[in-house]
Amino acid sequence: MRKRCEEEIRRLRISTPLDVTALCERLAEQRGRPLHLLALTSRTSNPSGLWVAAKKADYIFYDESVGEAHRAHIVLHEIGHMVFEHAGVAELDDLTARLLAPNLDPKVVRQLLCRDSYDNEHEQEAELFATVVLMRAGFEVTVTPDAGAHPELARLREVLSA
C-alpha cells in the first residue's frame, strides 16, 4: 500500500509548499473533467469529506468548519480515493438511496454515504496517501475552495448537511 502511494505521489509531482487547489487543477486536466472543491456545512463529524464522481465532473466536499491544515488533509484523502479509483461500499439498496436523494443515481449515493470508517483497505490507502503527501510537502499547504456557486448541488448539500 505504501509503495502504491509513493508511486502516485511521484507521478503527481508533489512539491513544497503544496497548493492543493493547483494539484486539483492538474488532476482535472489529467482526468479531462472539472474538479470542484466545495465547502459543506456539517452538523456531525461524519463525513468530514467526500468525493463524488459525477457524469461530467468530480466534486470534493469538505467540512467548512475545520482549519486549513485539516481541510488539506480531508481534500488529499479524497484525492487518494480518486487517484486509486476507489468506489463506495454498496450497502445501501437502490430504494433507500432514491429516498435519500431522489435526483441522484443510487450508485452515486452509495459512493457518498458508505465510506465512513478507516477499517477497510480503501480508507486506509486514502488516509496513508493524504498523510504521506502532507509529510512530503512539509505540512506547508493551502486550499482555496471554488468561489463560484453550484446551484445544482443545493439538494446534495442539503442532504449531506442534515
* Cβ(129)–Cβ(8) below 8 Å: yes
Residues of the chain with confidence (pLDDT) below 70: 42-47, 88-102, 104, 106, 108-119, 140, 142-162
According to the model, what pLDDT value does residue 90 have? 41
What pTM did the predictor assign? 0.71
* Cβ(152)–Cβ(38) below 8 Å: no
Using alpha carbons, select from 48, 58, 102 the residue that is nearest to residue 79: 58
Cell 479524497 sits on residue: 78
According to the model, what pLDDT value does residue 80 have? 94
Burial class (CB in 10 A: 0-12, 13-18, 19+), 62: buried
Burial class (CB in 10 A: 0-12, 13-18, 19+), 71: buried
Write out pLDDT tens, residues 21-56. Answer: 888 999 999 999 999 888 877 555 555 788 878 778
Chain center to CA of 120: 17
Q: Which residues contact 74 (CB under 8 A, 6 or more apart)?
A: 48, 49, 62, 63, 66, 130
